[in-house]
Structure 1
Amino acid sequence: MKKWTIICAAGILAFVLSACGQTAVPKENPLTGKKEEVVVKSELTAGEVMKKANAAAETQQSMHSDMEILQTLEMGDEKQEITSTIDMDMILEPLAMRQTMNMQVGGEEMAIEQYMTEEGFFMKDPQSGRWVKLPNDMYKEVTGQMAGVTESPVDFSMYKEYAKDFIFEETHDEYVLTLEGSGEKFSGLMKEMLGKNMPAGTDEAMLEETDMKVEKINLQFSIDKKTFFTKDFDMDMIMTMDEQGQKIKVTQNVTGTMTKINEIDEIKIPKEIIDNAQKMDSGINQQ
């Protein structure tokens, strides 16, 4: 089940919304049941909003993000629950990151802290509490992967068949795009997106051998009306996978917010970490 934990985690941010043709309708307030008051109604279509959001994303050089992930994996009588929170600052060029991730798996807790800048890739060993400096080629490898993601334009043709499934709403200051669906066509989307976002070294042929069915997918993005930056997202998903006779059910909820967009100018690794980190050539637990 461990490999599916890796693959499902890799697919958390793998979705891009498609372009729809209708203009937005006022969003209903879930607390009052009434439509939100929109002072100036937008004349943009969902497709135009997404094109502008995509263009805005290309100007995004830094951000802070907070995520919460609730995941349940079931295989036969075995059941594994995973809860994760991620607090991250990131700069794209040159790639730099500060991240704190707290995970709870089967009642056991683990905290992972890491820094990654041109000075190196540093990670705090969750077991010993010591900081270690990972091999320099790991920074180069991650930088190369991120460059491929950030430089590739969004291929909207890949999502045309889902256009009619999107709900397009607006509030006074946000556009809200929602996808709710299930069935075979979403299984194909899920498999394709997971294939493009699997971690380096993962066996891609494993996806081809897997019978994947999406029982439920609810995805919502909020986009700022002024900047067209994506502000937050909420994803609920239930899917089942059959790999060589082994059936796995995955239930997952992911929420995330993005703030401080283009406001982070520098990520510095504390001097005490650089001075005291143990260099590692072949793994974090090396003595």
Structure 2
Amino acid sequence: MKKSLSLILAGGLLTLMAACGESEATGEGDLSLEEILSNSASAAEDIESYSFVTEVQQTMGMDEESMSFDMSTEADVLVEPSIFHQKTTMDMGELGGEMSYESYFSEEHGLFMEDPLTGEWMKYPENLMEDILSMSEAQMSPSEQLVAFQDNINDLSLEEDENYYKLNLAGDGEEMKEIVEQIGNIAGDGMDEMFTQMMSELEIHDLVYEIFIDKETFHPAEATVFINMTIEMLGQSMTLEQNADIYFSSFNGLEEFEVPQEIIDNAEELSEEDAMGIFN
């Protein structure tokens, strides 16, 4: 289970890294890039709920061996208080076939994850909840993802059609690495050291990030992420290539929901050592 959780969180981490590296340009049409970002940030403040779907394809290689897996996620999110329900399916190919699991998070009750092998539920320890809450807000909040755009308006390009503004960032090398390092500022207390160490061992070969913003609502509609990079691990180089598509919907259209009481009552609480072990 730890191995599967490590891969799950690694995929989510890399998507977040790519989605937090943005940057400045002039735009087309009636609105400038700055005005589009400002309007989108203002619209995000009024979001009370939304859904998203992600489709991720990832290939990792070390020496002459490689491993590929696909991951799809469907999630419903309530913003205040923060609650989400997520269904994830992973296809590990020859390494393990397909497996699915669900997860719930709420500020009141914490983070619960289903073991895809046994169907039993696990709960993360309370003393890690502040970090988990900070990371969940950064990963899922449209307004948090816009912060990096607003702080790094240098290489961002803008196109538009009848329905959408398309913001695009493409680059490689140290410039992209510096932008990705911003993740340490939103990862939560105690997590920035891990990201700093990871960044020092990371070389970005190619990073492309596009997001489509609805012209009528200024809500994000779709995002695509491509990243190709090398990580030095234990004296060896690991290459990683990832494609991700993210689709947003149902803004302010969800009914309220809670973590099922049966899960709260029966979940086995992980020790801090076991919970943090997924990062090692």
Q: TM-score range by the shorter chain?
A: 0.7 to 0.9
Q: Percent identity?
A: 25
User: For residues 11 and 198 of structure 1, do their structure 2 counterparts lie closer, same or farther at Cα, with a shift above 3 Å needed?
Assistant: farther
Could you tell me how far apart the structure 2 residues matched to 1:281 and 1:218 are?
Answer: 37
Is the CA contact 1:121–1:138 (under 8 Å) kept in the aligned structure 2?
A: no
Q: Normalising by structure 1, report the TM-score.
A: 0.76
User: For residues 134 and 214 of structure 1, do their structure 2 counterparts lie closer, same or farther at Cα, with a shift above 3 Å needed?
Assistant: closer
User: For residues 249 and 193 of structure 1, do their structure 2 counterparts lie closer, same or farther at Cα, with a shift above 3 Å needed?
Assistant: farther
When structure 1 is superposed on structure 2, of 80-89 and 177-186 the one drifting more is 177-186
Partner SS state of residue 11, structure 1: helix
**Residue from 83, 91, 105 that aligns with 1:116:** 105
Could you tell me how far apart the structure 1 residues matched to 2:116 and 2:255 are?
Answer: 28
Task: Tell me which structure has the larger Cα radius of gyration.
Answer: 1
Equivalent residue number for residue 206 of structure 1? 197
Cα shift at 1:8: 5.3
Report the AA paired with residue 69 of structure 2.
I
User: For residues 237 and 208 of structure 1, do their structure 2 counterparts lie closer, same or farther at Cα, with a shift above 3 Å needed?
Assistant: closer
Per-residue deviation, residues 19-77 of structure 1 (Å, max 9, x unmatched): 42232xxxxxxxxxxxxxxxxxx410122111211222222221100001101111112
Partner SS state of residue 89, structure 1: strand
Is the CA contact 2:24–2:154 (under 8 Å) kept in the aligned structure 1?
A: no
User: For residues 182 and 5 of structure 1, do their structure 2 counterparts lie closer, same or farther at Cα, with a shift above 3 Å needed?
Assistant: farther
Could you tell me how far apart the structure 2 residues matched to 1:72 and 1:155 are?
Answer: 27
Q: Normalising by structure 2, report the TM-score.
A: 0.78
Structure 2, unmatched stretches of 5+, are 276-280
User: For residues 122 and 231 of structure 1, do their structure 2 counterparts lie closer, same or farther at Cα, with a shift above 3 Å needed?
Assistant: same
Q: Does 1:75 align with 2:62?
A: yes
When structure 1 is superposed on structure 2, of 119-128 and 82-91 the one drifting more is 119-128
Cα shift at 1:175: 1.0
Equivalent residue number for residue 251 of structure 2? 261
Q: Does 1:11 align with 2:14?
A: yes
Equivalent residue number for residue 278 of structure 2? none
Question: Which runs of structure 1 show a deviation greater than 6 angstroms over 4 or more consecutive aligned residues?
Answer: 2-5
Q: Does 1:247 align with 2:237?
A: yes
**Residue from 101, 116, 120 that aligns with 2:88:** 101
Report the AA paired with residue 9 of structure 1.
G
Report the AA paired with residue 231 of structure 1.
A
User: For residues 208 and 172 of structure 1, do their structure 2 counterparts lie closer, same or farther at Cα, with a shift above 3 Å needed?
Assistant: closer
**Residue from 28, 46, 51 that aligns with 2:38:** 51
Structure 1, unmatched stretches of 5+, are 24-41
Cα shift at 1:144: 4.6
User: For residues 140 and 249 of structure 1, do their structure 2 counterparts lie closer, same or farther at Cα, with a shift above 3 Å needed?
Assistant: closer
Equivalent residue number for residue 163 of structure 2? 173
Partner SS state of residue 50, structure 1: helix
Could you tell me how far apart the structure 1 residues matched to 2:121 and 2:198 are?
Answer: 35
Cα shift at 1:7: 4.6
Could you tell me how far apart the structure 2 residues matched to 1:177 and 1:208 are?
Answer: 25
Per-residue deviation, residues 178-228 of structure 1 (Å, max 9, x unmatched): 2233333123323x1443466865723422541x33222222111011110
Is the CA contact 1:209–1:243 (under 8 Å) kept in the aligned structure 2?
A: no
User: For residues 89 and 4 of structure 1, do their structure 2 counterparts lie closer, same or farther at Cα, with a shift above 3 Å needed?
Assistant: closer
User: For residues 137 and 61 of structure 1, do their structure 2 counterparts lie closer, same or farther at Cα, with a shift above 3 Å needed?
Assistant: farther
**Residue from 20, 25, 30 that aligns with 2:25:** 20
Per-residue deviation, residues 136-184 of structure 1 (Å, max 9, x unmatched): 5555553354467868682556413324xx2x22121211122233333
Could you tell me how far apart the structure 1 residues matched to 2:21 and 2:198 are?
Answer: 20
Could you tell me how far apart the structure 1 residues matched to 2:27 and 2:55 are?
Answer: 32
Question: Going by fraction, where is helix more abundant, 1 or 2?
Answer: 2
Equivalent residue number for residue 222 of structure 1? 212
Report the AA paired with residue 175 of structure 1.
Y
